[in-house]
Chain A
Amino acid sequence: MQQTYSGAPRAGAPLTPEAATPMQQTATQQTATLAPAQTAIEADDFSFWYGSARALNDITLQIQEKRVTALIGPSGCGKSTFLRSINRMNDLIPGIRHDGDIRLNGESVYRQGLDVVQLRKRVGMVFQKSNPFPKSIYDNVAYGARVNGLAKGRRDLDDLVERSLKQAALWDEVSDRLDRSALGLSGGQQQRLCIARALAVQPEVLLMDEPASALDPIATQKIEELIYELKDEYTIVIVTHNMQQAARVSDYTAFFYMGSLVEVGRTNEIFTNPREDRTEAYITGRFG
């Protein structure tokens, strides 16, 4: 049953046999590696309002450490709002309000007096639209690390930039032009640069808000392979509109609908044997 979802409708599948292998392992390894996981993020009856409009209803959800959790659901279902509640990116919007709590390693991120800057250092984010700074490739990666005081001296910083770009699978493509503008990169490269930039700050959690929705199939595949690599070290939460993508990259899937969490479980179970009719209807494309 697992094979149905790991191998079948892959976006960039018939490209190279090498590229396909890590993907196919995803589903088979899932059962093997999933067992001992700890909770990294815990939402507890979390509700959220934009002014008087309620965007989230009592979300209770546990996100496992060093796993990929996909948030799926139709537009406006609250999955992005939930994602942005984890690193409190919604704070800037006037008139917002929340109830309940979200905890990172047991500690409330909405605690009085918590420094959101510190929170966002621990919880990195990659956006739907790649947003590199209008600076050089090197500076894009180095800037965050420098501001957060993570590198001592030029040498250290060089190392960090190289390591981050390698982690983001971008080093080979840009190592000879680090001083060029990041805006000259292709869309997929820019998105991987944004991932490198987030990794350079050395977060524990990586939030990804539809990171591949603006990319072509080949660039999408690269991002997906990258996610697969990164979950060894990071807890990843990804919002996606692409069912196949959720099935390919994630260990766990949470289905949101109209501000509520309908169902959450292991990805292969959600996709092959959902408990809720609404989940099945959405996954099979009958609505949304």
Chain B
Amino acid sequence: MSEQTIDRRPRATGFAALSFRERRRRVVSRVMIGGTGVAAALTVLPLLLIFYHLMRAGLGSLNPDFFTNVPAPVGESGGGVGNGVLGTFLLVALAGAMGLPVAIGAGIYLAEAEGGRLPNAIRFITDVMNGIPSIVIGIFVWAWIVVSVGAFSAFAGGVALAIMLLPMVTRTTEEMVRLVPRELKEGALALGFTRWRTTLGVVLPAARSGILTGVLVALARIAGETAPLLFTAFGNPFWSSDLGKPIAALPVQIFQYAISPYEEQHRQAWAASLLLIALVLAVSLTARFLIRSPYRSR
């Protein structure tokens, strides 16, 4: 009906001048599109500002000593955060070794189990865990490990970070495994593969780059955590790689420098922040790179 009505109107023979209504629609559209662009710019602005500020305040303190030395005694200039870098790597490695196998396994379970009461309960709990403030995790591990052992330790710090890692990696793994086309899974099952062989040999390789990305993002995230380490790894002004002793960590060092009254330590805090953000950025870029896998596109 409506088409016929339109057909009866005289046909336009060219592009007439825009009516007021048409002009208004065009302006509104442009303003709105422009608005979203501004919002996008505002989103990335903080990162640029952070970078700018860290460069200005911290770049001056970056020197070879800064990477290789332990902090100088209070009142002396120089010194570095080499022990903090080592400590952060150790803590993240420890957390990864403890948390990743569990989290990836749990993610696979959730993806394979789909519905059902138990999987849904686990899904809900991981969401809750994701929302637990990190300081609470720190206190929990302090009460649970540090108090019972009677000492702050790198191990306790690793446990706290592993607990933070669990829900993040579980959920990203689940999502990535779910993205694998059902047909691919059925193809393997129809060949007489067991479910485990199907998961290990076909589903996981197809989801590999996605899972890896999730893992790296989570590792980068926990590398910057301060709160869970305050009462667990505690920090240490000296070199240490003993898992049973307190250990230095970059974020903890930044925190301690930042609250100290000394100008020199403030400068060190800025430099350490710059270093930390550079490390996180490097991990994120690696994750980006890994997304491209050989048999994916085409």
User: Could you tell me which A residues sit within 8 Å of B by CB distance?
Assistant: 87, 89, 92, 94, 117-118, 120-121, 124-125, 127, 129, 131-135, 143-144, 147-148, 181, 183-184, 194, 197-198, 201
Q: How far is the CB of B54 from chain A (nearest CB, A)?
A: 41
The residue on A at minimum CB distance from B206 is A134
> A197 is contacted by which of B183, B191, B201, B205 (Cβ under 8 Å)?
B191
Q: A127-B186, A131-B184 are in contact. Are A117 and B295 (CB under 8 A)?
A: no
The reply to whether A127 and B191 form a contact with Cβ atoms under 8 Å apart is no
* Separation of A125 and B295 alpha carbons in the complex (Å): 24
Stretch from B43-51, B60-68, B192-200, B220-228 contacting the other chain = B192-200
* Separation of A134 and B206 alpha carbons in the complex (Å): 7
* Separation of A143 and B190 alpha carbons in the complex (Å): 13
> B192 is contacted by which of A134, A135, A147 (Cβ under 8 Å)?
A147
> A94 is contacted by which of B114, B188, B189, B201 (Cβ under 8 Å)?
B114
* Separation of A134 and B201 alpha carbons in the complex (Å): 11
The reply to whether A129 and B183 form a contact with Cβ atoms under 8 Å apart is yes
29 contacts between A and B (CB under 8 A): A89-B189, A89-B190, A92-B189, A94-B114, A94-B115, A94-B116, A117-B193, A120-B189, A120-B190, A120-B191, A121-B191, A125-B190, A127-B187, A131-B184, A132-B187, A134-B206, A134-B295, A134-B296, A147-B191, A147-B197, A147-B201, A148-B191, A181-B298, A183-B295, A194-B187, A197-B187, A198-B190, A198-B191, A201-B192
Does B261 reach chain A (CB closer than 8 Å)?
no
6 nearest interchain CB pairs?
Answer: A121-B192, A144-B191, A125-B190, A134-B295, A131-B183, A131-B187
The reply to whether A117 and B190 form a contact with Cβ atoms under 8 Å apart is no
* Separation of A102 and B160 alpha carbons in the complex (Å): 54
The residue on A at minimum CB distance from B191 is A144
Does B181 reach chain A (CB closer than 8 Å)?
yes
Q: How far is the CB of B238 from chain A (nearest CB, A)?
A: 49
* Separation of A218 and B294 alpha carbons in the complex (Å): 30
Does B151 reach chain A (CB closer than 8 Å)?
no
Q: A181-B295, A181-B298, A183-B298 are in contact. Are A133 and B202 (CB under 8 A)?
A: yes
Within 8 A of A (CB), among B100-145: 114-116
Q: How far is the CB of A183 from chain B (nearest CB, A)?
A: 6
* Separation of A110 and B274 alpha carbons in the complex (Å): 64
The reply to whether B114 and A133 form a contact with Cβ atoms under 8 Å apart is no
* Separation of A134 and B193 alpha carbons in the complex (Å): 16
CB-CB under 8 A from A183, the residues of chain B are 295, 298
The reply to whether B191 and A135 form a contact with Cβ atoms under 8 Å apart is no
CB-CB under 8 A from A135, the residues of chain B are 205, 295
The residue on A at minimum CB distance from B198 is A147
CB-CB under 8 A from B298, the residues of chain A are 181, 183-184
Q: How far is the CB of A139 from chain B (nearest CB, A)?
A: 10
* Separation of A111 and B170 alpha carbons in the complex (Å): 37
* Separation of A135 and B187 alpha carbons in the complex (Å): 13
The reply to whether A117 and B186 form a contact with Cβ atoms under 8 Å apart is no
The reply to whether A148 and B192 form a contact with Cβ atoms under 8 Å apart is yes
Q: How far is the CB of B41 from chain A (nearest CB, A)?
A: 38
CB-CB under 8 A from A121, the residues of chain B are 191-192
Q: How far is the CB of B181 from chain A (nearest CB, A)?
A: 7
The residue on B at minimum CB distance from A145 is B191
The reply to whether B190 and A87 form a contact with Cβ atoms under 8 Å apart is yes
